[in-house]
Amino acid sequence: MLIDKNAIASHNEKLLPQHEKGFAYLMGMQPGVEKVIRKLIDFQVAIPSWALGTGGTRFGRFSGGGEPRNLEEKISDVGLLHALNRSSGAISLHIPWDIPGDAAKTKALAAQYDLRFDAVNSNTFQDQPGQKHSYKFGSLQHVDKATRKQAIDHNIEVIRHGIELGSKSLTVWLADGSCFPGQLNFRKAFQNTLEGLQEIYAALPPDWKVFVEYKAFEPNFYSMTVGDWGQSLLYANKLGEKAYTLVDLGHHLPNANIQQIVALLLNEKKLGGFHFNDSKYGDDDLTVGSIDPYQLFLIFNELVEGMDARNMDHANDLGWMIDASHNVKDPLEDLLQSVEAIMIAYAQALLVDTGSLQDAQQNNDVARAQEILQHAYRTDVRPIVAEARLRSGAALGPLQLFRENKLRDALVKERGERTVATGL
């Protein structure tokens, strides 16, 4: 491990006097802080294995040094993140980008870092070397039965890997769709996809969930077979109680009201989880909270309100995952920023005075309702988030510590200057 308890302790000692001032001020201003801290400590966000290397764009890829070269190194990177913030206690794998050679060993390695395996992801959007049938014209929707069967078998294989690792869910994201009018019979594509998903669903262990991720466009630009939350919800309802919709924040048409979608899916008991990221134009997969932190707060506000109304466990009843990829930032620094942004939005949502908000809504007091939400949003909760980290043995300033201790340089020394992580 690149960072030990002593390094974190001496970093915290240095930052403590300043932190205590900020925290004491908030404690004096804001009721309910202790409760928020307990919730923050329990809340864990899963790191996707594919975000640990430089992502690139379709025009180029500028790899940074010291990227993880295999699954063991990816787990070690997430272990490092988790040691720094104690809020990244899970990893989400993508098959076949990550194939655990020896599952028992992989599981033991993750346990050393106090990590569990979140949703496993299948991949039928690329052809793999030696693959019999091509996914050029789709996978589960494909006009050819043998291609569909291959995609189904792959998903069942991914479930098998997940079972060995102790994962409890499968995320299915399909690139299926069409690029030109007339290319596809929409009804047949939907039906083929449904039948494929039904076979995959039948292979789920009793305590598993399947997440059906939707996306409005890309790589297909005329139609996507799971194109929005309506289509995803149709599939999830037809499949059964183990099937849920997964919301990736970047997968909507411009200006979509994602918070309303989230509220309604939650109410239907069909919200499965998230791929957090941020975007300005499309599926930009930018750092969470980097473009529109207010939207992120409004989403968390719906989550907290909706989950509390149904007595749900914030930490465990939904899948909290990041889905991001970058060309210009150190991936580990970016992930520290993303987790921090999620914790900030969650803390702000927990501070919303729900009773007063309901009262304002009941009285059609629109201005007051806005004031209540924005009071929470404009509260600088960073000392609360830092206090939660301090109490769970993490660093007061994870990013600062990452830089001060030159952790990337250490990774480069260990792994080399010219590394390319497997994946995107």
- Residue 212 β-bridge partners: 172, 245
Binding residues vs ligand AOS (CB under 6 A): 50, 121, 173, 213, 215, 248, 275, 283, 323, 424
Spacing of C-alpha 181 from chain mean position: 33
- Tell me the closest approach of the beta carbon of residue 121 to ligand AOS, in angstroms: 5
Q: Which is nearer to ligand AOS, 161 or 215 (CB)?
A: 215
Shortest gap between Cβ of 124 and ligand AOS (angstroms)? 10
Based on CB atoms, which residue is closest to ligand AOS, 211 or 346? 211
The site partner of 334 among ligand AOS, Zn ion, none (C-beta below 5 to 8 Å per kind) is none
Q: Which of residues 101-120 bind Zn ion (CB under 5 A)?
A: none
CB of 173 to ligand AOS, least distance (A): 4
Nearer to ligand AOS, 126 or 363 (CB): 126
Q: Does 98 bind Zn ion (CB under 5 A)?
A: no
Residues in 390-419 at the binding interface with Zn ion, rule: CB under 5 A: none
Binding span for Zn ion by CB under 5 A among 122-130, 190-198, 279-287, 365-373? 279-287
- Partner whose binding site includes residue 82, from Zn ion, ligand AOS, none (CB under 5 to 8 Å by kind): none
Closest contact distance (angstroms) between CB of 170 and Zn ion is 14
Does 285 sit near Zn ion (CB under 5 A)?
A: yes
Parallel/antiparallel/unpaired status of strands 243-248 and 120-121? unpaired
One residue of 73, 278, 283, 387 binding Zn ion per CB under 5 A? 283
Nearer to ligand AOS, 158 or 347 (CB): 158
Bridge pairing between strands 243-248 and 271-276: parallel
Q: In this chain, which stretch among 48-56, 79-87, 153-161, 249-257 interacts with Zn ion, using CB under 5 A?
A: 249-257
Q: Which listed range, 23-31, 69-77, 192-200, 281-289, lies at the site for Zn ion (CB under 5 A)?
A: 281-289
Q: Applying CB under 5 A, does 176 fall inside the site for Zn ion?
A: no
Provide the residue type at 276 as one letter. Answer: F
Q: Closest residue (Cβ) to ligand AOS?
A: 173
Number of residues that bind Zn ion (CB under 5 A): 7
Candidate ranges 32-40, 124-132, 174-182, 275-283; the one touching Zn ion (CB under 5 A): 275-283
Secondary structure (H, E, C), the chain: CCCCHHHHHHHHHHHHHHHHHHHHHHHHHCCCHHHHHHHHHHCCCEEEHHHCCCCCECCECCCCCCCCCCHHHHHHHHHHHHHHHCCCCEEECECCCCCCCCHHHHHHHHHHCCCEECCEECCCCCCCCCCCCCCCCCCCCCCCHHHHHHHHHHHHHHHHHHHHHCCCEEEEECCCEECCCCCCCHHHHHHHHHHHHHHHHHCCCCCCEEEEECCCCCCCCCEECCCCHHHHHHHHHHHCCCEEEEEECCCCCCCCCHHHHHHHHHHCCCEEEEEECECCCCCCCECCCCCCHHHHHHHHHHHHHHHHHCCCCCCCCCEEEECCCCCCCCHHHHHHHHHHHHHHHHHHHHHCCHHHHHHHHHCCCHHHHHHHHHHHHCCCCHHHHHHHHHHCCCCCCHHHHHHHCCHHHHHHHHHCCCCCCCCC
Residue 424 touches which of ligand AOS, Zn ion, none (Cβ within 5-8 Å per kind): ligand AOS
Looking only at Cα atoms, what is the longest distance across the chain? Answer: 66
- Of the pair 50, 113, the CB lying nearest Zn ion is at 50
50 binds, among ligand AOS, Zn ion, none (CB under 5 to 8 A by kind): ligand AOS
Radius of gyration over alpha carbons of the chain, in Å?
22
Q: How far is the CB of 421 from ligand AOS (least distance, A)?
A: 13
- One-letter amino acid at 251 equals H
Closest approach of Zn ion to the CB of residue 245, in Å: 12
Please select the residue that binds Zn ion; options are 94, 209, 275, 408, rule is CB under 5 A.
Answer: 275
Instruction: Pick from 98, 278, 323, 330 the residue near Zn ion by CB under 5 A.
Output: 323
List of residues contacting Zn ion (CB under 5 A): 248, 250, 275, 277, 283, 285, 323
